[in-house]
């Protein structure tokens, strides 16, 4: 039965980990603006494509 002591303590540590993640998320401002990121997510693709294109261009220029 005494294994329960260990298990409960372990579960507390895990739960505490989640709590601290939550606190970190609030403090780092992730809940400040919930609207804009939903729009921003749609735009990222184009940028990456551009970077890729640039990388490719660089590769072509300096094949070494």
Query: Which residues in this chain contact other proteins in the complex, by CB under 8 A?
Result: 1, 4-5, 8, 12, 15, 18-19, 22-23, 26-27, 29, 31-33, 35-36, 39-40, 42-43
* Kind plus residue range of the DSSP H or E element containing 63: none
First to last CA, the chain: 66
Which stretches within 1-64 are classed as H helix?
3-27, 36-40, 44-61
Q: Which is nearer to other proteins, 43 or 63 (CB)?
A: 43
Query: Minimum distance between the CB of residue 64 and other proteins, rounded to whole angstroms?
Result: 29
Query: Minimum distance between the CB of residue 56 and other proteins, rounded to whole angstroms?
Result: 17
């Amino acid at each position: 039965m005494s294994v329960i002591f260990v298990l409960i303590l372990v579960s507390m540590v895990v739960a505490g980990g989640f709590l601290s993640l939550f606190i970190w998320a609030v403090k780092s401002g992730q809940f400040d603006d919930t609207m804009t990121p939903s729009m921003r997510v749609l735009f990222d693709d184009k940028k990456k494509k551009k970077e890729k294109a640039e990388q490719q261009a660089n590769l072509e220029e300096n094949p070494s």
